[in-house]
Amino acid sequence: MKYRRLGNTGLIVSEVALGTMQFGAKMNMGNLGQEDTTRMVKIALDRGINFIDTADVYSLGESETLVGNALRGLRQEIVLATKVRLPMGENFNRSGATRVNIMREVEGSLQRLQTDYIDLYQIHGWDSNTPLEETLRTLDDIVRQGKVRHIGLSNFMSWQAATAVMLQERLGLEKYVTAQMYYSLVGRSLEFEFQSFAEYHNIGILVWSPLAGGFLTGKYSRANPAPAGTRFADAGSFVPFDKEMGYRVVEVLKEVAGRHDVSPARVALSWLLGRTAVSSVIVAARKAEQLEDNIGAVDLRLSDEDVRLLDAASDPGVPYPKWMVLQLDTAEDPRSRTLYPERYADGGHWKDLRRTRWSG
């Protein structure tokens, strides 16, 4: 296993984290019980994973309970993350990033996980019905109380995350150190803005659904759709993407995988580990052999040609305003070429769209 810092903290986590949505039966995302959960956690720890991510809403608390049981006697050896925000019952006050809900749910998570602190507590999504300051002050409070060590966000748009971070800085509150976001070879929209935001603020990206709900395992094609019983078939398209583009990506994944004699899934995970600002990639396997294979991604080194092929097959294009930002800051500003000549060693990482006098 290889390790990285968790965002801009001193905490060190494994490059691959164990996801837990498959633990428990109330979400139909794996239906693994206690015996299987304990076995999967043991495999992860034996292979050097020290980072486990869960959420209160996963099977409505059942996942946290199963993980807590599996970690008896081992809690101090791992970095444990969970989340709050999504509905935990019919009562509308059991939802959201409100002071009432966060204070209640952090206690529930602590109890289910059988611990007196949470290493990383994450807001599971933006809450448009709660004042942002209420959420941020509450998170600061539970850090000061010692119930939480660090805080993170998940599934925010760039402006939402930036607004939160700037408010934390202005009010002197505990700051977000991670962003748990969807990112994969068929879902690269994170690169449009959020990735640059994370780099600028030293926020570590935690990648969820790196295999696009199982699609990037390479098992499915136009002629071979997902069979009944698979997670992709049972849960549907867990993350949306253009299927035709997806099939092209899978073809290249298989080509690259053949060069290294590994699985397409391992290639897809390795590609993510090479992206900027990524602290850890979360894998949620249902079978031991799947978990073992996913962990192997940390030792796979893709060649420049491998990455070029994967980038080209999955290229989503560059939307406005990012292309204009790159055009002005990279192609048309002579200071960039002077200050960062290494960026232009291969001809430049942004093609000058307007062929200005500074393009070379």
Q: Which of these ranges, 27-41, 106-120, 161-175, 252-266, has the smallest mean pLDDT?
A: 27-41
Give the model's pLDDT for residue 185. 98
pLDDT at 155: 97
Q: Which among 3, 58, 176, 340 is annotated as catalytic?
A: 58
**What is the SS3 assignment for 343?**
helix
Q: Residue 165: what pLDDT?
A: 98
Residue pLDDT, tens place only, 195-235: 999 999 999 999 999 999 999 999 887 778 777 666 565 55
Q: Is 117 one of the catalytic residues?
A: no
Rounded Cα gap, residues 73 and 125, in angstroms: 32
pLDDT greater than 60 at residue 359? no
pLDDT in tens, 321-336: 988 888 888 888 889 8
Contact assessment for residue 191 and residue 205, using Cβ atoms and an 8 Å cutoff:
no
User: Which has more pLDDT, 350 or 204?
Assistant: 204
CA angle (86, 291, 210) in 5-degree steps:
50
Q: Is the sign of the CA dihedral 221, 224, 225, 229 positive or negative?
A: negative
Rounded to the nearest integer, the mean pLDDT of the chain is 93
Position 340 scores a pLDDT of 84
Cross-strand partners of 205:
179, 278
Task: Decide: 58 and 83 in contact? Cβ < 8 Å.
Answer: no
Q: Which residues of 63-84 are buried (b: 16+ CB within 10 A; e: fewer)?
A: bbbbbbebbeeeeeebbbbbbb
pLDDT tens sequence across 54-107: 999 999 999 999 999 999 999 999 999 999 999 999 999 999 999 999 999 999
Type of residue numbered 101: N
Q: Is the pLDDT of residue 3 over 80?
A: yes
Q: What is the pLDDT of residue 357?
A: 54
Q: How many Cβ atoms from other residues are within 10 Å of residue 133's Cβ?
A: 13
* Interval 228-276: pLDDT, tens: 666 565 555 679 999 899 999 999 999 999 999 999 999 999 999 999 9
Beta strands per DSSP E along 89-210: 118-123, 148-154, 176-182, 204-208
What burial class does residue 141 get, using C-beta atoms within 10 Å of its C-beta: 0-12 exposed, 13-18 middle, 19+ buried? middle
pLDDT at 152: 98
